[in-house]
Amino acid sequence: MARRIPSEFEAFYRDAKDPCFRALLATVGSAAEADDLLAESFTRALARWNDVRHHPRPEAWVVRAALNLHRDRWRRSQRQQRLLERRESVIHDDVVDPALMAAVQALPERQREVVALRVLLGLSAEQTGEVLGVDAGTVGTHLRRGLASLRLALHGPVESSTNETTQEVMQ
Protein backbone atom coordinates (compact mmCIF):
# COMPACT_ATOMS: atom_id res chain seq x y z
CA MET A 1 0.00 0.00 0.00
CA ALA A 2 1.40 3.37 -1.00
CA ARG A 3 2.11 5.80 1.78
CA ARG A 4 0.25 9.10 1.54
CA ILE A 5 2.45 12.18 1.58
CA PRO A 6 1.21 14.66 4.18
CA SER A 7 -0.17 17.86 2.67
CA GLU A 8 1.97 19.82 5.13
CA PHE A 9 5.08 18.22 3.62
CA GLU A 10 3.85 18.88 0.08
CA ALA A 11 3.48 22.59 0.90
CA PHE A 12 6.90 22.63 2.56
CA TYR A 13 8.45 20.97 -0.49
CA ARG A 14 6.85 23.44 -2.90
CA ASP A 15 8.02 26.45 -0.88
CA ALA A 16 11.50 25.22 0.05
CA LYS A 17 12.64 23.35 -3.07
CA ASP A 18 13.97 26.31 -5.06
CA PRO A 19 15.73 28.14 -2.21
CA CYS A 20 17.31 24.87 -1.04
CA PHE A 21 18.43 24.11 -4.58
CA ARG A 22 20.07 27.53 -4.93
CA ALA A 23 21.87 27.09 -1.59
CA LEU A 24 23.16 23.68 -2.65
CA LEU A 25 24.13 24.85 -6.11
CA ALA A 26 26.18 27.66 -4.59
CA THR A 27 27.86 25.15 -2.27
CA VAL A 28 28.53 22.15 -4.53
CA GLY A 29 28.86 23.99 -7.84
CA SER A 30 27.07 21.41 -9.97
CA ALA A 31 23.39 21.61 -10.83
CA ALA A 32 23.17 17.85 -11.36
CA GLU A 33 24.84 17.12 -8.02
CA ALA A 34 22.71 19.73 -6.24
CA ASP A 35 19.55 18.23 -7.75
CA ASP A 36 20.55 14.69 -6.73
CA LEU A 37 21.46 15.77 -3.19
CA LEU A 38 18.25 17.73 -2.87
CA ALA A 39 16.11 14.78 -3.95
CA GLU A 40 17.83 12.50 -1.45
CA SER A 41 17.60 15.00 1.41
CA PHE A 42 13.91 15.71 0.78
CA THR A 43 13.30 11.95 0.76
CA ARG A 44 15.04 11.70 4.10
CA ALA A 45 13.04 14.66 5.41
CA LEU A 46 9.80 12.97 4.37
CA ALA A 47 10.85 9.78 6.15
CA ARG A 48 11.47 11.81 9.33
CA TRP A 49 8.76 14.39 8.77
CA ASN A 50 7.32 14.12 12.28
CA ASP A 51 10.67 15.36 13.63
CA VAL A 52 11.73 17.65 10.78
CA ARG A 53 8.49 19.63 10.77
CA HIS A 54 9.23 20.71 14.36
CA HIS A 55 12.72 21.92 13.44
CA PRO A 56 12.98 25.73 13.71
CA ARG A 57 14.03 25.88 10.03
CA PRO A 58 13.09 22.65 8.18
CA GLU A 59 14.67 23.96 4.99
CA ALA A 60 17.97 24.31 6.87
CA TRP A 61 17.58 20.68 7.96
CA VAL A 62 17.18 19.66 4.32
CA VAL A 63 20.24 21.61 3.18
CA ARG A 64 22.32 20.32 6.11
CA ALA A 65 21.30 16.73 5.28
CA ALA A 66 22.26 17.32 1.64
CA LEU A 67 25.63 18.79 2.57
CA ASN A 68 26.31 15.85 4.92
CA LEU A 69 25.48 13.48 2.09
CA HIS A 70 27.76 15.43 -0.24
CA ARG A 71 30.59 15.25 2.29
CA ASP A 72 30.05 11.52 2.76
CA ARG A 73 30.19 10.94 -1.00
CA TRP A 74 33.36 13.00 -1.28
CA ARG A 75 35.02 11.08 1.56
CA ARG A 76 33.99 7.77 0.03
CA SER A 77 35.45 8.77 -3.34
CA GLN A 78 38.67 9.89 -1.66
CA ARG A 79 38.94 6.57 0.21
CA GLN A 80 38.34 4.66 -3.02
CA GLN A 81 40.97 6.74 -4.80
CA ARG A 82 43.51 6.12 -2.02
CA LEU A 83 42.70 2.41 -2.08
CA LEU A 84 43.23 2.26 -5.84
CA GLU A 85 46.52 4.12 -5.51
CA ARG A 86 47.59 1.79 -2.72
CA ARG A 87 46.63 -1.28 -4.79
CA GLU A 88 48.64 -0.01 -7.72
CA SER A 89 51.69 0.65 -5.54
CA VAL A 90 51.47 -2.75 -3.83
CA ILE A 91 50.97 -4.85 -6.93
CA HIS A 92 54.27 -5.70 -8.55
CA ASP A 93 54.70 -7.47 -11.86
CA ASP A 94 56.81 -10.19 -10.21
CA VAL A 95 54.08 -10.92 -7.61
CA VAL A 96 50.93 -10.85 -9.73
CA ASP A 97 50.58 -11.26 -13.47
CA PRO A 98 49.43 -7.83 -14.71
CA ALA A 99 47.07 -9.42 -17.26
CA LEU A 100 45.46 -11.50 -14.52
CA MET A 101 45.13 -8.49 -12.25
CA ALA A 102 43.56 -6.43 -15.03
CA ALA A 103 41.11 -9.25 -15.80
CA VAL A 104 40.16 -9.61 -12.11
CA GLN A 105 39.71 -5.84 -11.77
CA ALA A 106 37.40 -5.88 -14.82
CA LEU A 107 35.00 -8.32 -13.12
CA PRO A 108 31.82 -6.98 -11.53
CA GLU A 109 32.36 -6.17 -7.86
CA ARG A 110 30.60 -9.21 -6.39
CA GLN A 111 32.41 -11.63 -8.72
CA ARG A 112 35.72 -9.96 -7.88
CA GLU A 113 35.01 -10.33 -4.15
CA VAL A 114 34.06 -13.99 -4.50
CA VAL A 115 37.12 -14.83 -6.61
CA ALA A 116 39.37 -13.06 -4.11
CA LEU A 117 37.86 -14.81 -1.08
CA ARG A 118 37.42 -18.27 -2.62
CA VAL A 119 40.48 -18.58 -4.84
CA LEU A 120 43.07 -16.23 -3.39
CA LEU A 121 42.18 -16.49 0.28
CA GLY A 122 40.97 -20.08 0.16
CA LEU A 123 37.72 -19.62 2.06
CA SER A 124 34.94 -22.17 1.67
CA ALA A 125 31.72 -21.22 -0.11
CA GLU A 126 29.98 -21.06 3.27
CA GLN A 127 32.67 -18.83 4.78
CA THR A 128 32.65 -16.58 1.72
CA GLY A 129 28.87 -16.36 1.88
CA GLU A 130 29.05 -15.41 5.54
CA VAL A 131 31.60 -12.65 4.84
CA LEU A 132 29.55 -11.24 1.96
CA GLY A 133 26.12 -11.81 3.49
CA VAL A 134 24.89 -14.15 0.73
CA ASP A 135 24.03 -17.84 0.43
CA ALA A 136 26.73 -20.37 -0.45
CA GLY A 137 24.83 -21.14 -3.68
CA THR A 138 25.07 -17.49 -4.66
CA VAL A 139 28.80 -17.64 -3.98
CA GLY A 140 29.07 -20.60 -6.37
CA THR A 141 27.15 -18.74 -9.05
CA HIS A 142 29.39 -15.67 -8.79
CA LEU A 143 32.50 -17.87 -8.75
CA ARG A 144 31.46 -19.74 -11.91
CA ARG A 145 30.66 -16.51 -13.72
CA GLY A 146 33.85 -14.84 -12.54
CA LEU A 147 36.06 -17.77 -13.52
CA ALA A 148 34.36 -18.01 -16.92
CA SER A 149 34.99 -14.30 -17.50
CA LEU A 150 38.62 -14.67 -16.42
CA ARG A 151 39.12 -17.67 -18.72
CA LEU A 152 37.64 -15.75 -21.62
CA ALA A 153 39.70 -12.62 -20.89
CA LEU A 154 42.97 -14.51 -20.48
CA HIS A 155 42.64 -17.40 -22.96
CA GLY A 156 39.80 -16.54 -25.28
CA PRO A 157 36.95 -18.98 -26.00
CA VAL A 158 37.79 -22.51 -24.81
CA GLU A 159 35.90 -25.57 -25.98
CA SER A 160 36.67 -27.78 -22.94
CA SER A 161 34.14 -28.43 -20.21
CA THR A 162 34.09 -25.40 -17.91
CA ASN A 163 32.08 -27.35 -15.34
CA GLU A 164 35.01 -29.70 -14.60
CA THR A 165 37.44 -26.80 -14.10
CA THR A 166 34.98 -24.96 -11.88
CA GLN A 167 34.46 -28.07 -9.76
CA GLU A 168 38.23 -28.43 -9.34
CA VAL A 169 38.58 -24.85 -8.11
CA MET A 170 35.59 -25.10 -5.78
CA GLN A 171 36.97 -28.19 -3.98
The phi-psi region of residue 124 (left if phi > 0; otherwise alpha if psi is between -120 and 50; otherwise beta) is beta
Reported as a single tens digit per residue, the pLDDT across 88-99 is: 665 555 566 778
Confidence category of residue 101, pLDDT binned at 50, 70, 90: confident
Reported as a single tens digit per residue, the pLDDT across 137-150 is: 999 999 999 999 99
Reported as a single tens digit per residue, the pLDDT across 109-125 is: 899 999 888 988 888 99
Half-sphere exposure of 132 toward its Cβ, with a 13 Å CA cutoff?
Answer: 26
Confirm if 22 and 62 have CB atoms less than 8 A apart.
Answer: no
Confirm if 58 and 16 have CB atoms less than 8 A apart.
Answer: yes
Q: Work out the percent of the chain whose per-residue pLDDT is above 90.
A: 57
Domains of the chain from N-terminus onward: 7-89 (1.10.1740), 94-170 (1.10.10.10)
